[in-house]
A and B are shown apart, each in its own frame.
Chain A
Amino acid sequence: MTAQLKPDTWTPICTTNDLVPDSGVAAKIDNQQIALFYLPDEHRVYALANKDPFSNANVIARGLTGDLQGKTVVASPLYKQHFSLEDGQCLEDDSVRLDTWPARIEGDHVYISIQ
């Protein structure tokens, strides 16, 4: 069963135990695939679209995280373009941006908000 999203609400997705520090996992909500990245030093989760626009494969969650040119990024595992975790902007191509959603950790749970 996938969780249903209600506008303007925080939807629980998984527990912090499901996350992998400094790395990503994928989740599916309402037919939308979402990549969740957990950065423990910021105690923060980022949520981005899981579909890699360069390959059309759902693989962003399986990319490596890091920082480049002052931005915290994930590198697509297929052709290695970098996307900012903050706003989904592709560093190699101005015209490409991944959708992002607000996400937060509360207690043991991870929530994201759509709209």
Chain B
Amino acid sequence: MTKSELISALSAAHPHLNARDVELIVQTILTEISTALSRGDRVEIRGFGAFVVKKRDARQGRNPRTGSTVAVSEKTIPFFKAGKELRERVNAQVSGAHLPGTHLSRSKRG
């Protein structure tokens, strides 16, 4: 599924919203996660997962073609760790375990 397919599917599920708003919602969520990570913040969505940034130290890398050493500077990597429910749901068919009632559990609007 691509972003545009996600937007179409959401529009179909929420017919009272226009497609432009649905697109704005999806984009707002993604932009906010990206912005938070850029600030070095973490984003934690219970049941779904957590987005964090990890620091990678500077290192001596190698150009795989020539074998010459190149300095790789320190950098930050976005990282996603799946939450428990997501992990279990993704794994459900393989293990054959049926997990009753594992919908992204979230008390209906607190």
Partners in one complex: no
A residues contacting B by CB (< 8 A) are none
Interface residues of B (CB under 8 A from A): none
